[in-house]
Amino acid sequence: MLKRKDFLKTTALGLLPFGIPMVPNQTRFTGKKPVVISTWRTGLSANEAAWEVLSKGGYALDAVEAGVKVEEANKDNKTVGIGGYPDREGKVTLDACIMDERGECGSVAFMQNIKHPVSVARKVMEESPHCMLVGEGAKLFALDHGFEEEDLLTPDAEAEWKKWLDQKEYKPKINIENHDTIGMLALDEKGRISGACTTSGAAWKMHGRVGDSPIIGAGLFIDPAIGGAVATGLGEEIIKTAGSHLVVEMMRAGHSPEEACKIATERIIERSSGNSEGVQAAFIALNKEGAYGGYSIVEGFDVSVYNTDGNRAEPVQYLI
Ligand code: GLY
């Protein structure tokens, strides 16, 4: 355990505990508030719903829930909510989480037949003594809290699954089968920051597989004093590096949101001994001043941003 005097010694030397370099405090990366950012270009319509809340002085947590629900309800989005591609058994199983400005969190994983997992995750946070519920237990909790059961496998997704059964090859296609997992971060007028992340996960996954999206610290992390980060892409790699937590810790060490996201993408490549074949992962981050950024391993990822300058998709820098 690091003692207080050791902590003071390392910080005096310009190092945070565990060797993280410290950037001088005067380094500020400022932006505008309110602001909402989300993953991929498809985040633009989700941003509209979030901005409805933020532009009226509303609460960041309400904004991120309203925002990501747009994609959960979008049947054309093949990696989120209803219409999402199923697992190998033809079951659509959903993962989601949410965090508020106090660092409180709620999460559901491997949940079936409930269209809005992010809202169930919020109920877990607000109305249960737990942080995470999975599978049948998550569904029963949702039904107890007024959610309705429905079939989430659309005819289009079922037809694609039947085609996949001919080959049964599991090799997620970069920027296609992992493409629309939506993560969102919002900072409201009062300076409250919140985040949400929701997905149907990797197409054709094994039954029972859970990705990064509902895992606090992997798919999403908020530190009330610093800011937040969310991830998208191949969940297994993001879990192995606790990606979103890493991004927030890098911002704590003084890096800009973009630099922090870059470090997390590099860490994935380093951890896999430089072998990045077939791996796409991307992060977006927002700090308490409203500065934001993103970074991806492979080209083709955008951060969608809505602030007083309007709603737009901004391509991010990438490693490969
Ligand atoms: N990032 C979504 C997943 O891997 O499930």
pLDDT value, residue 273: 77
pLDDT value, residue 29: 87
Q: How far is the CA of 21 from the centre of ligand 1 (A)?
A: 30
Q: How far is the CA of 314 from the centre of ligand 1 (A)?
A: 22
Task: Please indicate whether residue 175 or residue 57 has the higher confidence score (pLDDT).
Answer: 57
Average pLDDT in the 15-44 region?
A: 74
Catalytically active residues, by annotation: 181
Instruction: Tell me how far CA of residue 171 lies from CA of 177, 280, 299, in angstroms.
Output: 9, 12, 18
Whether residue 15 has pLDDT greater than 50: no
Average pLDDT in the 36-46 region?
A: 95
Atom of ligand 1 nearest to the CA of 233: 1
pLDDT value, residue 272: 85
Pocket test for ligand 1, best of 213, 220, 265 (most atoms within 8 A of CB): 213
Nearest residue (by CA) to ligand 1, atom 4, is: 235
Nearest residue (by CA) to ligand 1, atom 5, is: 201
Q: How far is the CA of 168 from the centre of ligand 1 (A)?
A: 19
pLDDT value, residue 11: 36
pLDDT value, residue 172: 64
| Residue 5 belongs to a domain | no
Whether residue 4 has pLDDT greater than 50: no
- CATH number, domain of 162, equals 3.60.20.30
| Residue 188 belongs to a domain | yes
| Residue 47 belongs to a domain | yes
pLDDT value, residue 179: 57
| Residue 14 belongs to a domain | no
DSSP 16-43: -GGGPBPPPTT---B--SSEEEEESTTH
Whether the Cβ atoms of residue 188 and residue 51 lie closer than 8 Å to each other: no
| Residue 12 belongs to a domain | no
Residue 313's domain comprises 30-318
| Residue 13 belongs to a domain | no
Whether residue 280 has pLDDT greater than 50: yes
Task: Please indicate whether residue 27 or residue 258 has the higher confidence score (pLDDT).
Answer: 258
| Residue 24 belongs to a domain | no
Whether residue 14 has pLDDT greater than 50: no
CA–CA dist 126, 119 (Å, integer): 10
Q: How far is the CA of 36 from the centre of ligand 1 (A)?
A: 21
CA–CA dist 287, 218 (Å, integer): 17
End-to-end CA distance of the chain: 38
pTM for this predicted structure? 0.90
Whether residue 311 has pLDDT greater than 70: yes
Element (H, E) at 108: strand 105-112
Domain count of the fold of the chain = 1
Tokens 């009226």 label which residue? 56
Pocket test for ligand 1, best of 39, 107, 212 (most atoms within 8 A of CB): 212
Whether the Cβ atoms of residue 223 and residue 104 lie closer than 8 Å to each other: no
- What's the 3-state SS for 250-318? HHHCCCCHHHHHHHHHHHHHHHCCCCCCCCCEEEEEEECCECEEEEECCCCCEEEEEECCEEEEEECEE
Atom of ligand 1 nearest to the CA of 201: 5
